[in-house]
Chains A and B, each alone.
Chain A
Amino acid sequence: MRISGLNSGMDTEQLIKDIMTAQRIPVDRVFQQKVKAEWKRDAYRDVNTKLYRFDSFVFDMTLQGTFQRNVATSSRTDILTANATGGAQAGTYDLKVTQLAKSAQFVSKKVTLDDDGLFAEAGSFEIRGLDGEMEKIEYAQGASLEKIAADINSNKSLGISAFAHGDQISFTTKATGADAQIEGNEQFYALFGDPSEEDAVAKYTEGQDAIVEINGLTTHQKSNTFDFNGIAVNLLEESEAAVRIEVRQDVDAVVDKIKEFVDLYNELVDEFNLATREEVFRDFPPLTDAQRADLSDKEIELWEEKARSGLLRSDSMLSGILSEMRVALGGAVQGVDGSTTLAQIGITTGSWYEYGRLNINEEKLRATVEENPDAVQHLFTNKSDNAAETGIARRLSAALDKGMERLTQTAGKASISYDQSFLGNQIRDYESRLSAMEERLLRYEESQWRKFTAMERVLGQLYSQGDWLTQQLMSMQG
């Protein structure tokens, strides 16, 4: 039980509150150190995430496919369209579309239905499915032709689209080509008509292949969409005239990719430079809970903005990573025809005050990509055990991997539940120190209260015993 200055008249409550506030100072300092360590860890992790994103992009730059992009153009897009896929080779092709591929189609006779256009009796028929097996379609008394069409359309294993109108129904294969067929059983033909009969109303049109002459060679294609030599062709019309497809290197795509690479690199350089040069405001340490309680949300926001500023100022790890990135990009890549550098393709390092940003001479870059695409590809992608022959994208990727590893060792990763990084251990150490200090504070406060309470109690007892004594004396005198 706490007796707060009842007998002495002291404001014990306030006295102990004040001393506890003073006692909290070292605890607050450790708390602030912990918060700073957490912020620094988060700042490193943020950098790591950015490096990871850039590394993913750089990985693309190590692939030959990134530089071997081709584009295909058709001279008559109303007759056919063409798209270059990965394996397309530069060249020209003349195509003549003699015949388009078609589906097989069956159009029924007028089906016998009742006055309401429904089947008077239940029944069934079979159609051959895609797996070659006959599939049974059943219909109930009172079913409509539309119901049969819906059942067929929903049956994926048939590969047939059906359409009913009035008392007729048509079936069309989803696939085109000469192999596409519609075949029913006896009940099917009895119900919908047999086209082979004389004067038959039901009609059957067989499927047909597309016939395309490519550079003088006649080819049969089962579909109007087909690939040849890495070109995806889509036939639209038959034509007497030949259509020219031209496949050439997609200079724009390569130039755009290199420009994007430089932009992302510069973004990263800017962020690194900003982080390592940001001003430190030493008068703005992290706020304690008690200090936060005294400030408005806006003031807390402004304060923390300053408190977080300069967390990575002059950070040697970040500077080291940036230097390694610069070294990776700066060196020449040895090849059969001598060495190539970024400067030779129009990418140069900016002035000293740009802190390592890259500048592009787009005209020069475009001209190099057009004239010597292999050299550009070699510069970025070449794979070799010899460092001097290794492409810059590979060198850069290695520098980024190394940097990310160092950052992970220092700050860990959010995805790892038990962080054993340097800062992770430091934060845990701060936490255990804080917990011990809080415990000590609590004990100290209790001991202070114990002392004051005990003394107050003694004083109270003495006062009452003094009163007792006075009474005794008075009774003796009385």
Chain B
Amino acid sequence: MVKVLIDLYQRKLDLFRQLGKLSASMAEFAPDQLIADDEVGEDFFKLLDERTVIIGQIDELTKQIQSHEEEGAVQEVEMLKCALQEEMIKLQGHNEAVETVVKRSLEQLREETRKLQSGKQSNRAYIGRVRSAEGSFIDKRR
């Protein structure tokens, strides 16, 4: 029965490694391309979906592991747990890198929007004129 537990842990470790690879490739996306190129964005979202599926599979395995955990610990399991922890720590790093990519993309999107807006506003002198004209009417009334 311990063999089952070892197998489950091995599978979980494999999934975490897969997750790590996925996250690493997501962290390599350039923030500007992510917002400028729809295809790049699509690829990114595809990877994110894959991540979500793997996480679901890991959750499933975790449940199965919990039901076999009482069967006793063996050295092989402990080694797998250590390897898992290492993968998780690596994954945390990848995850933060992916978060940074997305945050930068958002920031860039906001900056581009602002630039576009200020460029347009420099041509929008007449909006100001309405205000000054209000003043001129008030002056006339006085």
Interface residues of A (CB under 8 A from B): 8, 10, 15-16, 18-19, 21-23, 25, 283-285, 287, 291, 294-295, 298-299, 302-303, 448, 451-452, 454-456, 458-459, 461-463, 465-466, 468-470, 472-473, 475-477
Chain A residue with minimal CB distance to B125? Answer: A283
Beyond A284-B133, A455-B102, A473-B85, whether A461 also contacts B126 by CB under 8 A is no
Q: Find out whether the CB atom of B133 lies under 8 angstroms from the CB atom of A476.
A: no
Q: Find out whether the CB atom of A294 lies under 8 angstroms from the CB atom of B130.
A: yes
Interface size on B, as a range, is 35 or more
For B116, the chain A residues whose CB sits under 8 A away are 19, 22-23
B67 within 8 A of A: no
| A476–B16 alpha-carbon span in the complex (Å) | 13
Interface residues of B (CB under 8 A from A): 34-35, 41, 44-45, 48, 51-52, 55, 58, 62, 81, 84-85, 88-89, 91-92, 95-96, 98-99, 102-103, 105-106, 109-110, 113-114, 116-121, 123-124, 126-127, 129-130, 133-134, 137, 140
Tell which of B98, B106, B114, B129 touches A455, judged by Cβ atoms closer than 8 Å.
B106
Beyond A469-B88, A476-B84, whether A462 also contacts B120 by CB under 8 A is no
The total of interchain contacts (Cβ-Cβ below 8 angstroms) comes to 105
Q: Find out whether the CB atom of B55 lies under 8 angstroms from the CB atom of A477.
A: no
Q: List 12 A-B contacts (CB under 8 A).
A: A10-B106, A10-B110, A19-B117, A22-B118, A25-B123, A298-B137, A455-B34, A455-B105, A455-B109, A458-B44, A459-B99, A462-B102
Q: Find out whether the CB atom of B88 lies under 8 angstroms from the CB atom of A451.
A: no
Nearest Cβ distance between residue A461 and chain B, in whole angstroms? 6
Tell which of A18, A283, A458, A475 touches B133, judged by Cβ atoms closer than 8 Å.
A283
Tell which of A294, A455, A465 touches B95, judged by Cβ atoms closer than 8 Å.
A465
For A472, the chain B residues whose CB sits under 8 A away are 58, 62, 88
Q: Find out whether the CB atom of A466 lies under 8 angstroms from the CB atom of B92.
A: yes
For B99, the chain A residues whose CB sits under 8 A away are 459, 462-463, 466
Q: Find out whether the CB atom of A23 lies under 8 angstroms from the CB atom of B51.
A: no
Tell which of A294, A448, A468 touches B55, judged by Cβ atoms closer than 8 Å.
A468
| A23–B117 alpha-carbon span in the complex (Å) | 7
Q: Find out whether the CB atom of B85 lies under 8 angstroms from the CB atom of A18.
A: no
- Pick the 10 closest A-B CB pairs, nearest first: A22-B120, A22-B117, A19-B117, A473-B88, A455-B106, A19-B113, A462-B99, A459-B102, A8-B106, A476-B85
Q: Find out whether the CB atom of A295 lies under 8 angstroms from the CB atom of B134.
A: yes
| A21–B126 alpha-carbon span in the complex (Å) | 13
Q: Find out whether the CB atom of A18 lies under 8 angstroms from the CB atom of B117.
A: yes
Nearest Cβ distance between residue B60 and chain A, in whole angstroms? 13
Q: Find out whether the CB atom of A299 lies under 8 angstroms from the CB atom of B102.
A: no
Q: Find out whether the CB atom of B121 lies under 8 angstroms from the CB atom of A466.
A: no
Beyond A299-B134, A462-B99, A476-B88, whether A25 also contacts B124 by CB under 8 A is yes
